[in-house]
Amino acid sequence: MTRTGEGRFCGRRVRAAVLANVPTLVVVRHAKADSPVGLQDIARPLADRGKADAREAGRWLKENVGGCDLLLTSPARRTEETTARLLDGWGATPVIVDEERLYEASLGDLLRIVRGLDTQRPDATVVLVAHNPGVSSLVESLTGEVTQLRTSGIAVLDVEGEWADADSTSCSLRTEHTARAETESQD
């Protein structure tokens, strides 16, 4: 049995068959952040555009991914604010884990986190909300697809096999999307 996913990849519409009963990894780059003078990087809040885009990302996930079992977020303020607004738009109620290793994570750190996942259901959906350049490198490493996630960027991956074995031979990019809220034109 298969289900289908549909989305945009490099500006083209794509449609991919997705095997049932395989885990899904959703990689999200935090929404657009503000950069107030004198504020430490970890304490940077979302900009107004980022708040709207994060909520829009949640709506897109609701429509295109469905539910969520586990969400791991960096402890940075901007990722926690992205997570809150993402879940508002999504309506999902996953277990949420503040994962210290996601802040300033290297590719190696991110791969260890993914390969260390242990979910109860074989078709679990796990979301990582973190930062570039790590999240783009993670998607590229796991799928072999060159990816540059922008703020509020989302990559949905199918993981065929165990989390511990996740690599470019067992993961495929189902779809990629950059969430942008509609803005009113200014006169």
pLDDT digits (tens, 9 = 90+) for 92-146: 999 999 999 999 999 999 999 999 998 888 899 999 999 999 999 999 999 999 9
Count of domains for the chain: 1
Report if residue 10 sits inside a domain: no
What residues make up the domain containing 27?
19-33+44-178
Report if residue 28 sits inside a domain: yes
pLDDT of residue 120: 86
Report if residue 51 sits inside a domain: yes
Q: Is 28 left (phi over 0), alpha (psi -120 to 50) or beta?
A: beta
Confidence of residue 47 (pLDDT cuts 50, 70, 90): very high
Task: Give mean pLDDT, residues 59-70.
Answer: 96
Over the chain, what is the mean pLDDT?
A: 88
Report if residue 94 sits inside a domain: yes
Report if residue 6 sits inside a domain: no
Report if residue 82 sits inside a domain: yes
Report if residue 70 sits inside a domain: yes
Report if residue 69 sits inside a domain: yes
pLDDT of residue 184: 53
Lowest-pLDDT range, 3-7, 71-75, 89-93, 114-118? 3-7
Confidence of residue 67 (pLDDT cuts 50, 70, 90): very high
More confidently predicted of 90 and 8: 90
Task: Give mean pLDDT, residues 46-75.
Answer: 97
- CATH code of 143's domain: 3.40.50.1240
Confidence of residue 48 (pLDDT cuts 50, 70, 90): very high
Res 41 pLDDT > 70: yes
